[in-house]
Structure 1
C-alpha cells in the first residue's frame, strides 16, 4: 500500500481526469490561522480541512488535546469534503505533512485505504512551477462510508508497559522529551521507557520524506525491528501519525497512542520522567 504521491504523479492524475480529492490540512501548534493561509494559496480544487474541529473532538484532559472524534462525526466531515466511495484522496499541508499525516492515519483507520500524502506538500507543488489558487472550494457532498479500527492503536494502560516487550517512540522535539521545555502540557518529560525519535528527523531539508532506506536505518538505530512491536506517541496524537507514515515507508508497522503525552501527563497516577535516557535521569517530573 503506497503512502506517498509525488507532485509528478499527482499532476498526471489530475491531467488525466482521474477522480482525486485534494485535502489541505494547514495546521501547526501555535498557529490558528490555517484557513487564512489556505485561502491565500492552495492546490487547485483543494478543500480545507480544519484539524482541531474535523480531525479531533473537543479537548479533554482525560483524553488529550486532540482526541479522535466519533466515527459518525468523521464520516460527516469526510462527506462534506466531497469524498466518495472509490475515490483517491491526497492530503497535504505546508509543514512537511506534519498535520496532513493525521488525516492520512484517520482515513486509513476508518477503512479508507486509497489515501496518500503529497510528498513535500504545497512547497513541492510550487517548486515545480505549478499553479495555485486562492479563495475557498465548495465541493459537492460525498457519500463515503467509514468505519473504525483498521490501524493499530493503544491506550494509556498499554503505553505504560509497552517498552518492556516493544519499542515506544516519542515523536516530539528532543527538548520536550527531555523535559527542558513544555509549552502546552501540565508536566514536562516523557513516558518511562520511551525513546526520543523527533518527527522532524523523518524529513529532508525540502520537506520531503527521506528515502525508505535512510528511514529504515534511522529507525533500526532507535531499536525498531520487524520482530518487536512498535508504538508511537507525541504531544496530542498529531505528529505521531507522521512518524507512523515514516515507519510504514521504512517497512515497519506501528501503533498510535492517540491520547499521547497530553493524555498521559494529565493523569497524576502516570509517571513522567525527564532526561535523555528512556528511563529518565533518576528524577520524576512534577
Structure 2
C-alpha cells in the first residue's frame, strides 16, 4: 500500500470543467476507507469515545439528552452500507485505487500549508468544516452530523465563495430586527461582566457595571452612548444570541501555530462579527453587522499572514 510523505507537498487536486469546485458526499465509513486506501491519510478530526457506551450515572439514573443523541448516532452508523461496495458502485474506488481527485483532496487535507477550522452552531444545531490550503489548491471537509461528510476541492480563487457557504443560515431560521446597532465598540470587561449579570438575572448588578464604564461605549460615529442605551445593548447581546461561528487559522508550515481567530455571533437580525484589540491598555471589542459573504474578508488578513 502506498504511503504519504508528510514532508512533501500535497498533490494538487484535480478540478472539474472550467476549474469549478468538485464535491463528493461521503459517509463516515466511506471517508475512512478512502483515507486508508490513499496511503493512510490522516483526517482532520478524531473519533474519541465510544458513543454506544453509557457512563455509570446514566445506567443508574436514566439516559441524558447527550446519551440519547449518542445512541441515535451509533444506530445511524449501523445502518450505513458496506463502504467498499457503495464506493465501487459510484466509481470512486476500484480495488485499492481511489478516484484521483478524491485521493488528491485527501492528500491535501493531510499535508496543508495553512488550515482553517470552523465550528458553527445555529439554534442548537452544530456543523464543522475543515479547510486546508497549499500551493494554490484548497480541499475542504464538512459535516453536520458526523455521519455524512462533504469533501470538496478546488483552486484558491474559489475559496472566497466556498467560505461564504459556511455561515448561510437554514431556511427555517427567521430573521427580524435587532436592538444591537450595526456598529458598536465597547470594553471587553463590560461585555463579559455585563453579559454574566444578564444571564444571572442580576439587573441591579448590570446597572452598576454599566455605570462603572460610563462613556466607554461608542457608536459608528465614535460618539459615546448613554447608559440606558448600553443597558439595552448588553441585554440584547445576551437575549438575542441564537448561534455562534468560530474560525481558527493555523500556520501548519511553521508548526501548526494558531495565528488568528475569527468569532461571529448570530443575533436577531443576522451575523455580527466580534473583533478584539488593545487600546490604551484596555481590551475592546468592535461588533459589526456582517453577512455570509464577509467571512472570507474577515479571515483575509490572517490568511495573508500565513501565505506571506
TM-score w.r.t. structure 1 length? Answer: 0.23
Q: Is the helix fraction higher in 1 or 2?
A: 2
- Normalized against structure 2, the TM-score is what? 0.22
Q: Which of 1 and 2 has higher RCO (CA within 8 Å, sep 6+)?
A: 1
